Amino acid sequence: PFPVYNLLRRLTPVRFDESRSTWDVFRYEDVHRILKDPAAFSSVRMLSDKERETILTMDPPRHSQMRALVNKAFTPKIISELEPHIRSITNDLLNAVLDKGAMDMVHDLAVPLPVIVIAELLGVPSKDRDLFKEWSDILVKGPEENTDEAFYQVMAEKGQATEQLNAYFAQIVEQRRLEPQEDLISLLLSAEIEGQKLTDKEILGFSILLLAAGNETTTNLITNAVRILTEKTDVQQQLRHNPELVASFIEEVLRFYPPIQAIGRVAAADIEIGGKSIKKGDQVVSWVASANRDETKFADPETFIIDRKPNAHLSFGFGIHFCLGAPLARLEGQIALRTIIERMGDIRLAADADLTPIQSPFVYGVKHYPVVFQ
Ligand code: HEM
């Protein structure tokens, strides 16, 4: 999609798409301005039922209160303490495939790693990990074939998995209420906003939001990072010679192949952007994947520069809704890639690879990424 964004940024940087009744915004400066101004561009938008109750779709003052509360669960200290766990989970997952010299990066590492980490953070007991992973796998699954039947089959499975996950969390919330532990759910149960406890529905909604917002995105970050290694062998060499570059490598992957391509808002007032009059109530989509390649912000934007500095990409959003899980996603991405580089020699895309993209206009990733290595 990137050449198209480059063209649109030049020709119609702010344009109204009649078919979706939506404004699309492609320039860095305009995207930045929209994300920076929650009073003019509201996050209260109709998504699915699940998403309506969460911080992702709230405006201040409620957003600020809830966000302050959940920030406590994502402090740098809490996240950095996860590091040894993330390392050992990554090593275990790689141990299972290392002898074979071939693996599907998505299925064997990029899907299970974030699921297991988030389960740990939430306090899902290790005996339930397999169940939990099974449900999460179903939630990201696409139809096996391109038929209506296969499509409805998957939809039904997803509906069922969501219900089971809901029921499962409801039961964990109940247990933690009686016996608090050192986990996120216990922390949310004990928290208060202006003397008021969170409702079970809010806690459940937040737990499911973490799965929905954190798993597929981190999966795609890891896969897209490996994709860069195989597409740009010079970058793979640079990282092998200089593994300390892994942090800036991951930032550049985020800029170059952002797991989430666009962020939605609703205009809360009549406002002008890029010379166009946007009316109160209009939907506005900010294309961060385009902003990340804006030549007025990034020098040589089409080149992947492993140590790019500065690198003010917008792949985690900007402003009050800036991704809560960014430190965790970065850490997982860095550990996964560093472990891959350390344990696997010369990684290449498998010869018979079929790179089917994930069918969503907002997500950037592939369903499978088979690689061979030494
Ligand atoms: C918000 C991207 C990983 C939890 C966001 C937003 C973006 C984003 C663009 C802003 C949405 C908006 O402004 O409307 C990503 C990417 C990830 C990632 C690219 C991986 C590479 C995670 C993880 C978690 C997480 C691992 C949790 C464990 C959240 C939450 C919000 C959020 C809770 C809402 C914050 C708010 O509304 O205040 N993410 N995310 N994300 N993300 Fe992430």
Q: What is the dihedral of CA 23, 29, 32, 38, to 10 degrees?
A: -60
Q: Report whether residue 113 contacts ligand 1, using a CB cutoff of 6 Å.
A: no
User: What pLDDT score does 50 carry?
Assistant: 46
**Long-range contact pairs involving 236-240 (C-beta distance under 8 Å, separation at least 24):** 236/346, 236/347, 238/306, 239/306, 239/337, 239/341, 240/341
Asked whether the beta carbons of 26 and 290 are under 8 A apart, the reply is: yes
Q: Report whether residue 321 contacts ligand 1, using a CB cutoff of 6 Å.
A: yes
ipTM tops 0.90: yes
d(CA 233, CA 228): 8
User: What pLDDT score does 143 carry?
Assistant: 66
In eight-state DSSP terms, residue 357 is B
Which protein residue's CA is at the shortest distance from atom 1 of ligand 1?
323
Strand pairing partners for 283? 22, 266
Nearest by Cα to 236 from 371, 330, 112, 356: 371
Which protein residue's CA is at the shortest distance from atom 17 of ligand 1?
217
d(CA 213, CA 362): 13
Domains, the chain, ordered by start: 2-372 (1.10.630.10)
Which protein residue's CA is at the shortest distance from atom 33 of ligand 1?
324
Helices (H), the chain: 2-11, 28-36, 49-52, 62-71, 76-81, 83-95, 105, 112-122, 129-140, 148-178, 184-190, 200-231, 233-241, 246-256, 288-291, 326-343
Tokens of 193: 């906003």
Tell me the best of 55, 202, 324 to mutate to test the pocket of ligand 1, counting ligand atoms within 8 Å of each CB and taking the most.
Answer: 324
Nearest by Cα to 15 from 278, 289, 362: 278
Strand pairing partners for 196? 193
Q: How many C-beta atoms surround the C-beta of residue 279 within 10 A? A: 10
d(CA 14, CA 30): 8
- For ligand 1, the distance from its centroid to the CA atom of residue 350, given in whole angstroms, is 31
Q: Report whether residue 56 contacts ligand 1, using a CB cutoff of 6 Å.
A: yes
Name the packing angle between helices 83-95 and 112-122 (round to 10°).
140
- For ligand 1, the distance from its centroid to the CA atom of residue 264, given in whole angstroms, is 13
Query: Phi, psi at residue 283, to the nearest 5°?
Result: -80, 140
Q: What is the pLDDT along the chain (374 residues), one digit of tens a residue?
A: 899 999 999 999 999 999 988 999 999 999 999 999 999 999 997 655 444 568 899 999 989 998 998 888 888 888 999 999 999 999 999 999 999 999 999 999 998 899 889 888 888 887 888 888 788 777 766 666 778 888 888 889 888 988 888 888 889 999 999 999 988 889 888 888 888 888 888 888 888 888 878 888 999 999 999 999 999 999 999 999 999 999 999 999 999 999 999 999 999 999 999 999 999 999 999 999 999 999 999 999 999 999 999 999 999 999 999 999 999 999 999 999 999 999 999 999 999 888 888 877 788 999 899 999 99
Q: Report whether residue 331 contacts ligand 1, using a CB cutoff of 6 Å.
A: no
Nearest by Cα to 39 from 2, 64, 5: 64
d(CA 135, CA 49): 19
Query: What is the identity of the amino acid at 70?
Result: V
- For ligand 1, the distance from its centroid to the CA atom of residue 138, given in whole angstroms, is 21
User: Residue 273: which H helix or E strand, with range?
Assistant: strand 271-273
Which protein residue's CA is at the shortest distance from atom 38 of ligand 1?
321
Helix or strand or coil: residue 315?
A: coil
d(CA 39, CA 45): 14
Tokens of 310: 């500065």
User: What pLDDT score does 51 carry?
Assistant: 46
Place of tokens 């990684």: 347
- For ligand 1, the distance from its centroid to the CA atom of residue 285, given in whole angstroms, is 16
Q: Report whether residue 328 contacts ligand 1, using a CB cutoff of 6 Å.
A: yes
d(CA 323, CA 329): 10
Strand pairing partners for 371? 103, 349
Q: Report whether residue 205 contacts ligand 1, using a CB cutoff of 6 Å.
A: no
Asked whether the beta carbons of 116 and 131 are under 8 A apart, the reply is: no
Which protein residue's CA is at the shortest distance from atom 12 of ligand 1?
321
